Amino acid sequence: MCGAAKIIKNDELNAESLHSTIEEMLSNNNLEEMGNLARKVSIKDTSDKIYGEIQKLLKENK
């Protein structure tokens, strides 16, 4: 079982840790599962929601 993302802390990020993480993800064939999990937690219609919020702000500032 994997998650929707792999996090590398800033203080641990370097070329070697990034390469190792990518190799691990590719060798375990987790990318499809990670993609499915990411889609489950994603926010749908974000562009419409952002547009709606901008419209509200514009109306308030008239």
Q: Would you say the pTM of this structure is higher than 0.85?
A: no
* Tens digit of each residue's pLDDT (9 = 90 or more) over 9-18: 999 999 999 9
Contacts of 4 (CB under 8 A, 6+ apart): 34, 37, 38, 40, 41
* Tens digit of each residue's pLDDT (9 = 90 or more) over 9-57: 999 999 999 999 999 888 878 888 888 889 998 888 999 999 999 999 9
CB atoms within 10 A of CB 25: 14
Domain boundaries, the chain: 10-60
Helix (H) or strand (E) holding 56: helix 46-60
Whether residue 2 has pLDDT greater than 80? no
